[in-house]
Amino acid sequence: MIHSGKTRRAKKTLRARVGQFCIAPAGLFLLGFFVLGACAVTSVQPQADPVLDPRILRADEINRMNSMILSHAHLNSDSSDYLLGEGDLLRISVFEAQELDATVRVSARGLITLPLIGTVAVKGLTAIEAEEKIETLYQAGYIRHPHVSIFVEERVSQRITLVGQFKIPGTYDYPTKQRLIDVIALGGGLSEKAGQIVQIRRSRQVHGQLDVVMVDLERLISRGDVIHNLEINGGDVIFIPEAGVFFVDGAVRRPGAYAIKNRTVLQEALVEAGGLETWAVKDRVQLVRMAENGERKLIELDPSQAGVQDLVLSDRDILIVPSSGKAGRMSGFGVSILGTGFSFHSR
């Protein structure tokens, strides 16, 4: 009986305690539910739609452009198209007279020296053109129907430099008569940070072309405008900047490409380019900007006017500071932007 009484009292106490626990924690449970629910709501951040994520969109665009570049590139050029230049080592064979065979290096003046005929200017000729020239000289006084063969053992003169946002930038031995798409493919294609403008700085003037040419990659690759697929020459420097840049050229101390830092205005852009040269036209700046229809338009600006110096620059803007007087013409600067009909000379 004692045992059963203790048992009844223990069960009663246990029921009371369980009752207290079950009643009060019911509210705590609901409160905890709402608290946890609130925490869950506030802690879950809306995720960016991967379809609209600009980084993914940019990567997809670069991949698409690289696929088009590689599909249209022609990297197997004919070695006979190579233009001979200073430093190149040539092995010259004369089939009718092996004693006239020679291995010669093109001099700094573009000359080679051969038995009997002496010096021959070969710089700027292809191997085939040089063969024909040498055959003519031998035929003039020594061999009735000569046959000459030229093999380029060392190619030194023809190199191009790829700078900026290529996958594999660097200096490359360059077989001539390749075009812009070909050399972009030679550099492995565009990097993920590549912008939409290619800047080509010519090592020399060719067929009246200017020293600097800007090419819009969107027009070249996506729209297939073949006029933008320029022929590249040995010694040229091809520069692809990062996206989000502006260009400054003309009568400034440090022409080039510069990154847009949050909010860059015209006055800051000119300061970043080293300021104006003494021969610059102080009250005139030309702005070439991409319009909404994808075309570029030329805008004439006067920095002395109110508000012009605070003009905010956009990606791919090009600022040109014209020159005045003879000093400006001595700078030897020229730039052309394909597809706009716009070119600038300071000569």
CATH superfamily of 244-347: Outer membrane lipoprotein wza domain like (3.10.560.10)
CA distances from 218 to 40, 127, 158, 285 (A): 45, 36, 28, 26
CATH 3.10.560.10 region(s) of the chain?
158-241, 244-347
pLDDT digits (tens, 9 = 90+) for 90-101: 999 999 999 999
What's the token pair of residue 197?
A: 């403008």
Every domain range in the chain assigned CATH 3.30.1950.10: 83-154
Which CATH code for domain 83-154? 3.30.1950.10
Please report the sign of the dihedral spanned by the C-alpha atoms of residue 298, residue 161, residue 210, residue 325. Answer: positive
Q: Which fold has domain 158-241?
A: Outer membrane lipoprotein wza fold like (3.10.560)
- For residue 157, which of 133, 177, 173, 178 has the smallest C-alpha distance? 173
Q: What is the Cα–Cα distance from 322 to 344, expressed in whole angstroms?
A: 8
256 close to 248: Cβ distance less than 8 angstroms: yes
The predicted structure's pLDDT at residue 41: 36
Helical H segments across the chain, by residue range: 2-43, 54-72, 127-141, 180-186, 217, 266-272, 325-330
* DSSP assignment of 60-129: HHHHHHHHHHHHH------GGGPBP-TT-EEEEEETT-GGG-EEEE--TTSEEEETTTEEEE-TT-BHHH
Closest among 212, 302, 195 to 248, alpha carbons compared: 212
Is the full-model pTM beyond 0.85? Answer: no
- Whether 199 and 247 have beta carbons less than 8 Å apart is answered as yes
Mean pLDDT by 10 residues, the chain (347 residues): 48 44 36 35 40 57 88 72 86 95 95 96 92 96 94 85 95 81 94 90 66 84 83 89 89 89 88 92 90 79 88 89 65 53 47
